[in-house]
Amino acid sequence: MKLNTNRHKYFQLFIITICFTSIFSFSDAQTFYPNIQIDYTNNLLTLSAKKADLKNVLLKLSEKTGIYVRFPNSIKKQITTKMSDVSLKEALSKILKGMNHAIVYSGSKKNRIDVSEVFVYMKPSKSIISGRSTSLNRQIAARIKSYERRLESLSKKLSQLDKNSRLGKRYLRQIRSYQNVIENLKRKIR
């Protein structure tokens, strides 16, 4: 008889554990991005975000659409927007308005088929430079601006090319290299 009561207690503990695990997993799935709702069907996007962190919006957008998104960790922007049945390009343009970014398309130059990659870049803020006014920081800030101009130029050129072409791949490598240089220079200023 004692053996059956132990089994019964273990069985109850097992059932309770499963119940709590499933309840927490369902609630976690609902609240991971509670203020962001995205639906992407038939190449049309419906997006609703209220005081949402731009990083989280881009990550969820990447998850839903399958695009590659790259952005610096230093982005601190919140957005509130609501749009329905818009193209991915239009939605990205609205979300990233006022920010330095590049959208890469797959397909030929004439027939831009799908958005495949999105790059978001940061401009050096005056607050980073104003903390110290040494000549070294000014030199680094000038180098950052120079690289950002190069980055912007390459991004414009890349937006008119097929990313799978030889030149497109070269531009992508150069863009990634410039992004890394800029991030490293920003770390030196801080």
- Residue 87 in domain: no
What does the angle CA 81 – CA 83 – CA 87 come to, to the nearest 5 degrees?
125
- For the segment 101-125, the average pLDDT, to the nearest whole number, is 69
Residue 15: domain span: 1-32
Is residue 126 very low, low, confident or very high in pLDDT (cuts 50, 70, 90)?
A: very low
**pLDDT tens-digit readout, 56-112:** 998 898 888 888 888 888 888 888 999 999 988 888 888 888 888 887 777 665 555
- Residue 54 in domain: no
- pLDDT greater than 50 at residue 190: yes
Helix %, strand %, coil % for the chain, to 5?
55, 25, 20
Domain count, the chain: 1
Q: 102: which strand partners?
A: 119
- Residue 26 in domain: yes
- Residue 11 in domain: yes
Position with higher pLDDT, 19 vs 188: 188
Is residue 48 very low, low, confident or very high in pLDDT (cuts 50, 70, 90)?
A: very high
Query: What pLDDT is stored for residue 29 in this prediction?
Result: 41
**Residue where the block lists tokens 């731009």:** 54
**pLDDT tens-digit readout, 1-41:** 455 677 777 777 777 777 666 555 444 444 456 788 999 88
pTM over 0.95: no
Cβ neighbors of 120 (< 8 A, separation 6 or more) are 58, 69, 70, 71, 72, 75, 96, 99, 100, 101
Position with higher pLDDT, 189 vs 67: 67
Query: What pLDDT is stored for residue 96 in this prediction?
Result: 87
- Residue 42 in domain: no
- Residue 7 in domain: yes
For residue 105, the 8-state DSSP code is E
Query: What pLDDT is stored for residue 118 in this prediction?
Result: 81
Measure the CA–CA gap between 33 and 30, rounded to whole angstroms.
7
Q: 121: which strand partners?
A: 100
- Residue 22 in domain: yes
Query: What pLDDT is stored for residue 89 in this prediction?
Result: 85
Query: What pLDDT is stored for residue 116 in this prediction?
Result: 73
Position with higher pLDDT, 177 vs 1: 177
- Residue 21 in domain: yes
Residue type (1 letter), 145: K
